[in-house]
Amino acid sequence: MSVAVIDDHELVRQGLASLLVGAIVSGRQVELVYVGGSVQAGVEAVPDVGLLDVDLGPGSAPVDEAVRELLEAGSRVLMISAYDDARSIKAGLEAGALGFVPKRVSLDVLVEALSTVYTDELYLSVDLASILAAAVGTPDLSPRESEALKLYASGLSMTAVARRLEISPHTAKEYLDRVRAKYAAVGREARTRTELYAAAQSDGLLGEPGQS
């Protein structure tokens, strides 16, 4: 059973590789055909299963695009991540990935997930169920609305948001008013800065906690 480990953090991918090399999945010994941070190289290795990090770092393609590239090469995809980015994980599943596991899981759980995905079945878990539940009711924000939300929720004043976006404060307020209206339309009130921050964090717009 051939597996490609696609992760932008060297220590993580080497750790995964050391755990998986020689492991038995679905009665087959794992053969690592690629270990690195390049989706293209992973695709070219044509693995039975691509173990794909949800976020491959700055400048990388969205996870749904990476999933589609692997699928077009005939591979199955199991997503992994250190944090629960509900929006990206949902997008990856909609693109055709067959499951998701957090990086904190045990080797036994990872092997179980790989075995399930290898048989072309969706790997369902408590983690995935909670993530999909969190993704329900995510508003469809435009790129400018998302950027205004990220800046404002991160603590910038309305004037500072406008300056960063090179727009007027009035336009910045309009963007945020639209954001509030869209959240309200999906049943999630987000009127205050604190509520907007919580919504943006929950929807994966702010990255990992502690990052700017």
Residue 115: what pLDDT? Answer: 95
The residues with which 32 forms a beta bridge, in sequence order, are 3
**Tokens 């480990």 appear where?**
5
Please give the model's pTM, rounded to 2 decimal places: 0.66
Query: What does CATH list as the number for 143-202?
Result: 1.10.10.10
Q: How far apart (Å, rounded) are the C-alpha atoms in residues 123 and 206?
A: 27
Q: Is 198 exposed, middle or buried (0-12, 13-18, 19+ CB in 10 A)?
A: middle
Residue 127: what pLDDT? Answer: 74
Low-confidence ranges of the chain (pLDDT < 70): 133-136, 207-212
Residue 212: what pLDDT? Answer: 39
Q: Which tokens in the block code for residue 24?
A: 């038995």
Residue 61: what pLDDT? Answer: 86
Taking alpha carbons only, the member of 86, 81, 124 closest to residue 104 is 81
Residue 209: what pLDDT? Answer: 42
CA 48 → CA 3, 137, 196, distances in Å? 6, 34, 41
Residue 112: what pLDDT? Answer: 95
CATH 3.40.50.2300 positions along the chain are: 2-135
CATH 1.10.10.10 positions along the chain are: 143-202
Q: Which tokens in the block code for residue 149?
A: 């939300």
Q: Which tokens in the block code for residue 5?
A: 């480990």
CATH superfamily of 2-135: Response regulator (3.40.50.2300)
